[in-house]
Structures are given as C-alpha cells and as structure tokens.
Amino acid sequence: MRRYTKMRPVKKFNKVTLSRGIKEVFMKKLLYGSGVLLLFYLAQFFYLPTIASATTPTISTVSGTIQTGKTLTIIGTTMMDENKTNWDTTVVNLQSGSAYGFEGSDFASDGYEVNSDGASMGVSVGYSSSVKLSGNQSAQFHIEGQHTDTISHNPHASADIFYGIKQNLTTVYVRGYTRYDGTGWPSEWFKHWWTLATDGSYLVMQPDASGPSLPSVFDYGDSNGGNVINIPSGTLERGRWYCLELKMQVNNGLVELTPWIDGVQGTTYRTGSPAIEMDWYEFGIINLNGTDSNFVVDNYVDNFALSKSSRIYCSSIIEIGNNANYSTATKVYQQPLYLSDGSIQIKANLTGLGAGPYYLWVTNNKQERSAAYQLTPGKIPMSPSTLKVH
C-alpha cells in the first residue's frame, strides 16, 4: 500500500459555471514472373477491420410509466457500444477482459493495486454484486466512523493502476461512474481521483467537502488551488450514478484540467505543473477528513477507463425532450439505473417538458444517436417477462 503524507486540497475555489470498421472486401497479390495482377475476393471468408466506426443505436421498445420518478426500461441495440480503441493497456488491460467493469474475482485479479487501512479504521474495499451500473459488479469503497485532523484518522479506501515509473505525460483522460450511499458527509476533504504532476503537485477531482450538508459541486485542481464544476442536476443525491470525466493536458508548458459531469463540461483550470507524472492513477476514497461517529459512506465506481490520447465520453447518454427535432427540443438528461448494449433502465425526469408527447434519445459511447422514440404520457406495456430487471 502506498504511503501518504497529509495533503489538504484547497477547499474553496472560485466558482465558474463534451458498424464496424470499414471491411476489406478484396486483397491484391502480384504473381511472380508474369506480372499478372490477380484479385482475391476474400470478404466471404475474412473480416479485416481497418478503423473503428460507430453503429447507430436503435430503440425497439420502452416500458414503464411515463412520469417523473418512475423507472423506464429501454430495449434496443448498441446503446453503449464502448469505443475502447485508445484505452490504456499498460498495466491494467482496460480494452478487454473484466477490469473496466470490475467483473473479476477481486481487484488483484483485474490488475489493480488496493489501498486500505483495514477494519480498525472502519475501512473495507471489494467488489459489490448488489450495486452496479453495468455488468454484474462494481467496485465498492467503505469508510465509517469519526475521522479528525490527524494522519492516523485520515483513512484510505481506494484502488489504483500502479505504473511504478514516472511517465512525464502530456495528455491523460479519465472516465468513471461514481455513486455515494450512506449517512453524513466530510467537512474537510474527500479525495476521489488523484495522481501526481512532475513537480510533486497532485492533480485531483473530488466531491466538495461541505459536511454535514451534501455538496452541489465537485472540486478539481492541484496542490495550490483549483476550481469547481456544478453538478448539473443540483445537490448530490445518494444512490445516484454520476458520469465523471477529467482531461489533463499540457498547454503552453503547464497542465490544464477540464472536467465533465454527466456530459456537461466545466471550465478549464490552469495549474502550475509542467507535466503529468502518473506513477499511479488512484480512485475511490483516497482519503477523507472531518466526520463524526455516525458517519458511514459507501462509494461505488463502475465503467472506469483511462486513455493517454483521446476523450472517453460517458458510456451512454439518455435524454427526453419535448419535440422530435433533437436540435430544437428542450432536453433533460435521464439518470441511469442500469446500462448495457441491449437494455437500459433510467429514472424518468420530465421537469420543464410540459404535458407531452415526449421523445427519447440514446447517444452511445461512440457518439452515435438513435432516432427519436415517441413516449405518450401514462402507462405503456410492461417489460417483457424474460427481461432481467436490475
């Protein structure tokens, strides 16, 4: 487990409110001697992808009650279609296997390093099968009890991709879904994502430590200061999944940080650091401070990805609007309850959309958007009996 020194992020920031590939259908082969060019048509035998391309998601049915707060189930195709082409594979293979969705037997089997202070500090880490956004599991980080302003009460419940080398990177993108359950909230700090810059400063994104009240912003910055991004839906809700993204990129000699929450971009913050060291990239509850004896938090993370070249985007964005023209409709982001390519569940929000009819769109990870699917207020057919409800 990594050794920590106590480093307190600046709490108060200035508020400032992103089908397959082309298939080769023939190959050319030049025969020796005669120079005759023969065409070998091999499409019926081989798939030869050259570049990734997107497949438009389709919606076949939507079931549930069309009403704010009700669960809707969407059945379709390629509604996530994660584009993993540029995801990191250096230590943890995020492109294939079980690591990005935490689907292995434990963190170690998926290639992650674990940082935990153990039961004596009210800490536990592991995989959860009862709470997940996709697949069958998510990562779970648990801390409880009173933790005050000393290093011995500054607990760690996190995991990381441990590279073990100073990489001196100029571009890193991170994406993950996060959810907080429990009671109480820290009043000092509550780190969620972090890594180091080459000057020893740390680069962080975290929910604001506004305890005992729940926050309405996430902080992002470095050891010297930072900024905040508003949570688009308002005050943080327990039990709700949020899609977090962070871009770290060197521009004119210094690292700049750009965040997104649920696809809504925040303001770029310019740090004083020259490059991204990223000996590791850590997530979960890196540490926290300022809680009482009644405090309990479970932080769940799912669909985690990291790229050293391109933005990752949310796994899927679901929106409901008040007319069928996407560009002119008033649209409301829909809270995801479960995501997969073939089925999605959302908690409907029709706020500000009038009396209907309504129209639903799914935009997958490759940024392909479905056609508008009309929803009529009131009840529509229930989910098929074969559908697994999460």
User: What is the spatial distance between Cα 296 and Cα 279, in angstroms, rounded to a whole number?
Assistant: 30
Is the CATH code 3.30.565.10 the one for domain 84-307? no
Q: Which of 127, 122, 183, 187 is nearest to 156 (CA)?
A: 122
Range(s) within the chain of domains with CATH label 2.60.40.10: 58-81+315-380
pLDDT digits (tens, 9 = 90+) for 325-362: 999 999 999 999 999 999 999 999 999 999 999 999 99
Half-sphere exposure of 24 (CA within 13 A, CB side): 14
Measure Cα distances from 136 to 110, 129, 142, 258, 297 in Å.
Answer: 14, 6, 19, 31, 21
**CA 324 vs CA 3, 356, 362: distances in Å:** 54, 11, 13
CATH 2.60.120.200 in the chain, residues? 84-307
**Overall CATH class of domain 58-81+315-380:** mainly beta
Centre a 10 Å sphere on the Cβ of residue 163 and count the other Cβ atoms it contains.
17
User: What is the model's pLDDT at position 151?
Assistant: 60
CB 217 within 8 A of CB 230: yes
pLDDT in the model for residue 122: 93
DSSP character for 240?
-
pLDDT score at 53:
56
Vertex 299: Cα angle to 296 and 302 (nearest 5): 165
pLDDT in tens, 65-96: 999 999 999 999 999 999 999 999 999 999 99
Residue 82 contacts residue 243 (beta carbons within 8 Å) = no
Maximal CA-CA distance, the chain: 86
Which pLDDT belongs to residue 54? 58
Single-letter residue type at 152: S
Global pTM reads 0.86
CA proximity to 374, closest of 66, 84, 26, 44: 66
Q: For residue 336, which amino acid is it?
A: P
Question: Which residue, among 268, 224, 219, 228, has the nearest Cα to 248 in the 3D structure?
Answer: 268
Give the pLDDT score at 55: 77
pLDDT value of position 378: 74
**106: enclosing H helix or E strand:** none
- 234, 216 Cβ separation under 8 angstroms: yes
Question: Quick one: pLDDT at residue 29?
Answer: 34
Predicted confidence at residue 384, as pLDDT, reads 42
Which residues of the chain are modeled with pLDDT < 50? Answer: 1-52, 381-389
How far apart CA 331 and CA 342 sit, in angstroms, is 23
